[in-house]
């Protein structure tokens, strides 16, 4: 018995670190087995799942939730949470669509929306830092009022009539939608910020133990505000891509997306208590969820049965993470 226990103990951290990847590989193996047969000559293993069309499909669907999840990871790493991401996405979606329809140029619109998103994130972060209120409560309030603003801003109607100003995000470059490339770049920058910069190390320090970080001279408030600002920036990027994909503005857009983002981070190995995890894990977590969704549709599993399985998988992911980490 002893050797087994010891070997598992040595494997466990590795599995925990790469749990999203382990899940993803398992899923791909199952997909190989189960997904419908394809006669497309380009299909690997004669499976519909492993076709170029499906790769494009996966990356097209991944961009928005993936970028939201990258932003959420920064906030979660500092020990915070952002429940307002979906609402902010909805508001920025409406703003992007409205400005473009009223004749603003695409670069200017995108630039201002990115500034706006970052600003809203920074404001939320400041409220949390200086009021000492729980991030959960502050962003819950944000979720409600930002959604309200989106409905007021649009006068409770969808904004349509968008021409093709920003649809290029959806078109492929080297076989992959540009939105997918933007996700790759965002993930890469996020990974570099977290692992190679002082700010990145401070994010982990604040999430690990904010008191200790404070005594060590880390400007805890500024780090929190920075993490929320990065999150806001990511939400704005996602909102632009969302607008490109949907070609309109909807005040109800993005409802519940904040939870998808948190789920991706958790499945990817980021701990909700803060301090553990990274954006590469989150990327894999988001990829896992999108791959799972698509697999369930391709395999004609009922949507609601699929939802049940997703819950089980999240629970197992969190359980696996907590093993050996209990204090």
The window from 115-123, 134-142, 204-212, 307-315 that contacts another protein (CB under 8 A) reads 307-315
Residues 8-47 touching another protein, rule: CB under 8 A, are 8-9, 11-12, 15, 22-23, 26-27, 30, 33-34, 36-37
Residues 233-262 touching another protein, rule: CB under 8 A, are 242, 245-248, 250, 252-253, 255
How far, CA to CA in Å, does 282 sit from each of 18, 65, 71, 82, 211? 10, 11, 10, 15, 26
Compare residues 15 and 104 and give the one whose CB is closer to another protein. 15
Is residue 96 within 8 A of residue 113, CB to CB? The reply is yes
Residues 42-101 touching another protein, rule: CB under 8 A, are 48, 51, 53-54, 57, 60-61, 64
Nearest to 190 by CA among 105, 64, 71: 71
The residues near 310 (Cβ < 8 Å, ≥ 6 apart) are: 263, 289, 292
CA quadruple 166, 241, 55, 290: dihedral, nearest 10: -160
Is residue 242 within 8 A of residue 254, CB to CB? The reply is yes
156 scored as a contact of another protein (CB under 8 A): yes
Nearest to 91 by CA among 287, 270, 243, 279: 243
| Minimum separation from the CB atom of position 52 to another protein (A) | 10
Compare residues 249 and 274 and give the one whose CB is closer to another protein. 249
Chain residues binding another protein by CB under 8 A are: 4-5, 8-9, 11-12, 15, 22-23, 26-27, 30, 33-34, 36-37, 48, 51, 53-54, 57, 60-61, 64, 155-158, 160, 167, 170, 242, 245-248, 250, 252-253, 255, 293-295, 297-303, 305, 309, 312-313, 316, 319-320, 323-324
């Amino acid at each position: 018995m002893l050797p087994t226990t010891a070997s598992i103990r040595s494997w466990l951290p590795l599995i925990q670190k790469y749990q999203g990847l382990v899940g993803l590989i398992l899923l791909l193996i199952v997909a190989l087995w189960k997904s419908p047969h394809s006669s497309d000559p380009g299909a690997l293993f004669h499976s519909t799942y492993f076709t170029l069309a499906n790769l494009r499909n996966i990356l097209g669907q991944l961009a928005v939730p993936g970028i939201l999840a990258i932003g959420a990871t920064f906030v979660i790493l500092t020990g915070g949470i952002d429940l307002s991401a979906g609402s902010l996405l909805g508001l920025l979606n409406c703003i992007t669509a409205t400005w473009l329809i009223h004749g603003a140029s695409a670069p200017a619109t995108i630039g201002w929306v990115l500034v706006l998103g970052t600003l809203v994130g920074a404001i939320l972060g400041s409220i949390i830092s200086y009021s000492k209120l729980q991030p959960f409560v502050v962003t819950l309030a944000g979720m409600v009022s930002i959604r309200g603003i989106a409905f007021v801003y649009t006068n409770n109607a969808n904004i349509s009539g968008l021409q093709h100003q920003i649809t290029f995000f959806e078109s492929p470059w080297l076989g992959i939608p540009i939105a997918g490339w933007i996700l790759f770049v965002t993930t890469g920058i996020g990974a570099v910020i977290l692992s190679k910069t002082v700010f990145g190390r401070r994010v982990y320090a604040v999430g690990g133990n904010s008191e200790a970080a404070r005594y060590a001279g880390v400007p805890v408030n500024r780090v929190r505000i920075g993490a929320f600002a990065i999150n806001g920036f990511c939400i704005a990027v996602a909102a632009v891509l969302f607008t490109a994909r949907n070609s309109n503005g909807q005040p109800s857009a993005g409802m519940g997306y904040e939870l998808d983002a948190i789920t991706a981070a958790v499945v990817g190995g980021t701990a909700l208590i803060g301090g553990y995890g990274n954006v590469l894990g989150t990327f894999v977590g988001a990829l896992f969820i999108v791959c799972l969704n698509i697999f369930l549709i391709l395999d004609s599993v009922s949507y609601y049965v699929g939802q049940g399985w997703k819950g089980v998988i999240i629970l197992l992911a969190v359980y696996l993470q907590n093993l050996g980490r209990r204090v």
